[in-house]
Chain A
Amino acid sequence: MSDAMTDPTATPDDAPMSEQSSEQTPDISATSLPVQGEPVEYMISVDIAKKGLVIAPVIIAVCALIWGSEGAAGAAVGIGLVVANFLLSALLVSGAARISLGLMMGAVLFGYALRLGLIFLVIVLVRDEPWISLPALGATIIATHLGLLMWELRYVAINLAYPGLAPKETKS
């Protein structure tokens, strides 16, 4: 028995080293703290959505040329699905990151299953409709998803920063 344990007037400084360390170290792990910084996922997704709106008329026109009006409808639904997929993903991750790092990990993994389920649900609902072309829908989903990502990756890779930190072009 040490003096610090038997003496009721003893201060924390008199406690043994093991007790001191347990009092000074808060019981908080790094994964239970909020993530520092801006919501970069949301900024990237908004940037991708803007680019998606820019190229949407081109994709719809190409699909309309190949598959007709059903192709145009399929392309429009496909672009909407891809953009909504990015935005939903970003909202889930950014919202969870403001709470804690561990929750962010759960949100990414749960969001993956949730978003695939939502896409599956939408396609099951529209697949038997006569006004939509499934090949156009499928091709648009793949091409838009990969194309927009490559386009966004180009900017991120050049700047080594997310869109909010990207340097603006200056006229010399």
Chain B
Amino acid sequence: MEALSILAQDAAAVADFGPIGAGIGYGLAAIGPGIGIGYIVGKSVEAMARQPESAGMVRTTMFLGVAFTEAIALIGFVVAMLVQ
């Protein structure tokens, strides 16, 4: 009986790590998109500085690329929210 209560306490202690794990998972999921968005925007700024006349096309591509990359962060966020 005593062993069961110890196991129950251990299970409760493990369950408390859920929010921490979700937070760590979400943080890890946000690193990749952060790097990707920085790379996309940096290259786009470089392209617009070199060829200002192509800014419209570059901005369109940049905006859509950033939005797609951001989807990865959103997926990580949603998964962390649901797993927690």
Contacts and interface: CB of A to CB of B under 8 A. Distances in A.
Contacts of A33: 52
Given A37-B55, A104-B45, A141 B74 contact: yes
A127 B49 contact: no
Given A105-B41, A160-B57, A44 B64 contact: yes
A165 B59 CA distance: 14
Interface string A99-129: 0011011001100100110011001000100
Contact of A145 (B33, B37, B74): B74
Contacts of A68: none
Contact of B49 (A101, A120, A138, A153): A101
A105 B81 CA distance: 30
A38 interface: yes
Contact of B59 (A41, A120, A134, A153): A41
Interface in A137-172: 138-139, 141-142, 145-146, 149, 152-153, 156, 160-162, 165
Contacts of B38: 109
B72 to A, nearest CB: 10
A116 to B, nearest CB: 6
A112 B34 contact: yes
Contacts of A105: 41-42, 45
Contacts of A86: 67
B68 interface: yes
A160 B78 CA distance: 32
Given A41-B63, A89-B67, A153-B64, A36 B52 contact: yes
13 contacts: A29-B49, A31-B49, A35-B55, A36-B55, A41-B59, A105-B42, A108-B66, A112-B34, A116-B77, A138-B79, A142-B74, A153-B64, A160-B57
Given A105-B45, A138-B82, 6 more contacts: A33-B52, A36-B56, A89-B67, A105-B41, A141-B74, A156-B64
Interface of A: 29-31, 33, 35-38, 40-41, 44, 86, 89-90, 93, 97, 101-102, 104-105, 108-109, 112, 115-116, 119-120, 123, 127, 134-135, 138-139, 141-142, 145-146, 149, 152-153, 156, 160-162, 165
